[in-house]
């Protein structure tokens, strides 16, 4: 089924623990991503569904796999934990996809590993479906993220706050190397490990840096800029990751771990959904600052490789951190300029965007709809945009300022609206719709899950049959808190 070539398993033993998935009682395929399978060159045999489900649940380890749990450490909510590791995920192996890119095939929830400590190594159906929905929504939106190859029911209960149904999520990633993977070796004073890992990720993710004079500094910079771009794009779709711990930040620049993540409905820059984020560390607006903090932790790991002279190494790392901030700012401006339909840049654009945010915050406007309806305003129809705000006067003033700015660009309303609709989604995985899909699935009805996935395949299209999925939550539908629920 998979043409495996497992480069990570060829690294020294201390990088991982070899471990086989623990078979489950009654594996049953919930969903298989055929389009992604084709991209990966993965051949699924649907004539034998029992065997297919058995492979995807970890009951049958396919030929060529070398199952391992990866070692990593991480800062969780600012506190350093020297050993985390894959506690409920097993990397089956790697495949090289149709574009020549190496991708990990990982089973999440496939049983205990030496890194499990207190956990059971299992995943519940709800979080598996959430990760499926949000990762595929990210792909369709064009945002870098790990992907969903399959979801499989295990036929076994998992014990969380309540008894839930167990499931396995088959995750595809450019790699699962995280900032925390570097921290694992650095915390042990294992500089050879850090160097081996750095060389590994340069080869795998940044081969163009191999011949740089200071390849490790170039690596730090490349990772930093990728993360700055990624977070700017998160903000562009109103995404709140929820657990930006260093073990949940990839080196490849893909978004990973869709746990208590959520999308803004009413705009509020300090919005937090995650039940475990009581201090608001990972609030919407804090994400770029936290991204930079995480990159600083990566820089600390790489310091010995940056320069033999410690002061020079620190200065070089600090320059990268400054660059992170600048890059985030400029990418953020680019993202939001496009969202408000600008084709060019001018002084004052940042203020114009901020004043829209102020009106949205005050007017309790729905983040996604505001930008989508602004495209209508570009064609002269202001009503729906204005109706998104509790207080239309501020929104009206903003439209006036916006039109003054637009007057400096020679573009037709139709051209502008089309460009805006291509970057401002109509359909996002709204929190209440994700919850609804999970609740129905818990009762054995996967039709909501399927329908939501179908709508999210074309997030920039407004299709009348999915109007209900575009609408903001009614007050009683609003999700106020999300849970890791792993």
264, 244, 160, 239: which is closest to 479 by C-alpha? 264
Calpha distance 446→244 (Å, rounded): 30
Tell me if 116 contacts ligand AMP by CB under 6 A. yes
Contact status: 254 vs ligand AMP (CB under 6 A): no
Nearest-CA neighbor of 304 among 412, 393, 190, 164?
A: 190
User: Does residue 94 interact with Mg ion by CB under 5 A?
Assistant: no
Out of 39, 120, 212, 436, which residue is the one contacting ligand AMP (CB under 6 A)?
Answer: 120
> C-beta of 247: minimal distance to Mg ion in Å?
5
259 binds ligand AMP (CB under 6 A): yes
Q: Does 248 bind ligand AMP (CB under 6 A)?
A: yes
Q: Is 248 marked as a binding-site residue?
A: yes
Closest approach, Cβ 122 to ligand AMP, in A, equals 6
Distance of CA 132 to the CA centre of its chain: 11
Chain centroid offset of residue 384 CA: 30
Question: Given phi > 0 = left and psi -120 to 50 = alpha, else beta, which region is 348?
Answer: left
Give, as one character, the DSSP assignment of residue 29: E
* 88 annotated binding-site participant: yes
Q: Measured from the CB of residue 481, what is the shortest distance to ligand AMP in angstroms?
A: 16
116 or 191: whose CB is closer to ligand AMP? 116
Rounded Cα distance, 123 and 89, in Å = 9
Task: In whole angstroms, give the CA distance from residue 108 to residue 128.
Answer: 8
What's the gap between Cα 275 and its chain centre?
19
Are the beta carbons of 96 and 6 closer than 8 angstroms?
no
Are 236 and 335 a contacting pair, CB within 8 Å?
Answer: yes
- Complex with Mg ion: residue 64 or 87, whichever CB lies closer: 87
Residue of the chain from 104, 131, 229, 247 that contacts ligand AMP (CB under 6 A): 247
Query: Do residues 229 and 420 touch, judged by C-beta distance below 8 A?
Result: no
User: Residue 106, interface with Mg ion (CB under 5 A)?
Assistant: no
Return the biggest CA–CA distance within the chain.
65
Among 31, 75, 103, 122, the residue binding ligand AMP under the rule CB under 6 A is: 122
Q: Is residue 31 within the footprint of ligand AMP (CB under 6 A)?
A: no
Q: Which of 58, 67, 121, 253 binds ligand AMP (CB under 6 A)?
A: 121
Active-site annotation holds for 247: yes
Residue 331 binds to Mg ion (criterion: CB under 5 A): no
**Distance between CA 337 and CA 352 in Å, rounded?**
9
Q: Does residue 242 belong to the site contacting ligand AMP (CB under 6 A)?
A: no
Residue 41 sits in the site that holds ligand AMP (CB under 6 A) = no
C-beta separation of 144 from 150 below 8 A: no
Q: Is 257 annotated as a binding residue?
A: yes
List 104, 247, 265, 277, catalytic entry: 247
Q: Which residues sit in the known binding site?
A: 85, 87-88, 108, 120-121, 171, 178, 248, 257
User: Interface residues with ligand AMP (CB under 6 A)?
Assistant: 84-88, 115-116, 119-122, 243, 247-248, 257, 259, 484, 486
Enzyme catalytic residues: 247
């Amino acid at each position: 089924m998979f043409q495996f070539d497992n480069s990570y398993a060829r690294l020294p033993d201390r990088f991982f623990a070899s471990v086989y998935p623990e078979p489950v009682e009654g594996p049953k395929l919930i969903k298989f991503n055929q389009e992604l399978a084709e991209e990966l060159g993965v051949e699924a045999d649907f004539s034998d569904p029992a065997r297919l489900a058995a492979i995807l649940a970890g009951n049958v380890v396919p030929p060529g796999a070398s199952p391992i749990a990866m070692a990593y450490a991480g800062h969780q909510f600012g506190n350093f934990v020297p050993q985390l590791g894959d506690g409920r995920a097993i990397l089956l192996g790697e495949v090289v996809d149709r574009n020549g890119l190496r991708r990990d095939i990982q089973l999440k929830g496939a049983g205990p590993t030496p890194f499990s400590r207190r956990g059971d190594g299992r995943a519940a159906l709800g979080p598996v479906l959430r990760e499926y929905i949000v990762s595929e929504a990210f792909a369709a939106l064009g945002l870098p993220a790990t992907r969903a190859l399959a979801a499989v029911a295990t036929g076994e209960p998992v014990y969380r706050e309540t008894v839930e149904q167990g499931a396995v999520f088959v995750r595809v990633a450019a790699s699962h190397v995280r900032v925390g993977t570097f921290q694992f070796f650095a915390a042990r004073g294992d500089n050879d490990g850090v160097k081996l890992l750095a060389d590994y990720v340069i080869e795998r993710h940044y081969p163009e840096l191999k011949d740089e004079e200071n390849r490790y500094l170039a690596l730090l910079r490349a990772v930093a800029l990728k993360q700055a771009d990624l977070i700017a794009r998160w903000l562009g779709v109103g995404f709140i990751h929820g657990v930006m711990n260093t073990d949940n930040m990839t080196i490849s620049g893909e978004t990973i771990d869709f746990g208590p993540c959520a999308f803004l409905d009413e705009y509020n820059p300090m919005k937090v959904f995650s039940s475990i984020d009581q201090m608001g560390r990972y609030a919407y607006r804090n994400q770029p600052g936290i991204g930079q903090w995480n990159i600083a932790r990566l820089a600390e790991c790489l310091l010995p490789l940056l320069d033999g002279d410690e002061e020079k190494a620190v200065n070089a790392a600090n320059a990268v951190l400054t660059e992170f901030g600048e890059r985030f700012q400029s990418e953020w401006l680019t993202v939001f300029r496009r969202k408000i339909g600008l084709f060019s840049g001018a002084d004052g654009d940042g203020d114009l965007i901020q004043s829209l945010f102020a009106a949205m915050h005050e007017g309790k406007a729905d983040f996604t709809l505001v930008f989508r309806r602004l495209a209508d305003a570009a064609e002269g129809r202001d009503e729906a945009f204005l109706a998104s705000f509790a207080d239309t006067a501020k929104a009206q003033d903003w439209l006036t300022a916006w039109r003054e700015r637009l007057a400096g660009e020679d573009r037709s309303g139709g051209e502008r609206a089309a460009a805006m609709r291509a970057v401002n989604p109509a359909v996002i995985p709204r929190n209440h719709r994700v919850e609804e899909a999970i609740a129905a699935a818990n009762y054995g009805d996967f039709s909501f899950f399927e329908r939501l996935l179908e709508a999210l395949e074309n997030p920039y299209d407004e299709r009348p049959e999915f109007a209900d999925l575009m609408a903001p939550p009614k007050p009683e539908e609003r999700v106020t808190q999300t849970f890791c629920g792993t």
